[in-house]
């Protein structure tokens, strides 16, 4: 049971990165097919890459913090864990984020930051519960 909680915690720590990637992908698509709407989005929200707190949380939780529950749950060599974390981050978690992301919508910076913090908090909760069961 605790292994499953650690894996869920890992996925929750990786979801901000996948959600950020999906937001960037949707914005680029909006720039291509509807440049006026993309201009208004960028005017209201600014560039997503300029929000340093959001970028720090997204990359730190996806690449660093996600390794801790992965190590506790699977307990493999650290190099295998890093490789599996990166593979999961780029190949598995984006499908989960795509299913959670509402269609025909692009998150603004405030919602993206809120979702990022929410995923990290839920990841910590699952990690603590899994740690107490082990």
pTM, 2 dp: 0.90
Read off the pLDDT of each residue in 25-39 and give the average, rounded to a whole number.
92
pLDDT by residue (tens digit) across 46-105?
A: 888 888 888 999 999 999 999 999 999 888 889 999 999 999 999 999 999 999 999 888
Could you give the angle at the alpha carbon of 97 between the alpha carbons of 93 and 100, nearest 5°? 145
Please name the residues in contact with 76: beta carbons below 8 A apart, sequence gap of 6 or more: 84
């Amino acid at each position: 049971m605790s292994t499953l909680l650690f894996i869920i915690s890992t996925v929750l720590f990786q979801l901000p990165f996948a959600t950020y990637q999906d937001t960037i992908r949707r914005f680029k698509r909006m720039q291509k097919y509807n440049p006026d709407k993309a201009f208004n989005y960028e005017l209201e929200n600014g560039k997503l890459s300029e929000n340093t707190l959001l970028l720090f949380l997204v990359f730190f939780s996806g690449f660093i913090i996600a390794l801790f529950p992965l190590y506790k749950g699977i307990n493999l060599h650290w190099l295998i864990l890093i490789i599996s974390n990166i593979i999961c981050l780029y190949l598995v978690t984006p499908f989960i984020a795509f299913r959670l992301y509402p269609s025909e919508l692009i998150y603004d910076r405030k919602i993206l930051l809120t979702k990022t913090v929410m995923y990290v908090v839920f990841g910590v909760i699952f990690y603590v519960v899994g740690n107490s069961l082990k």
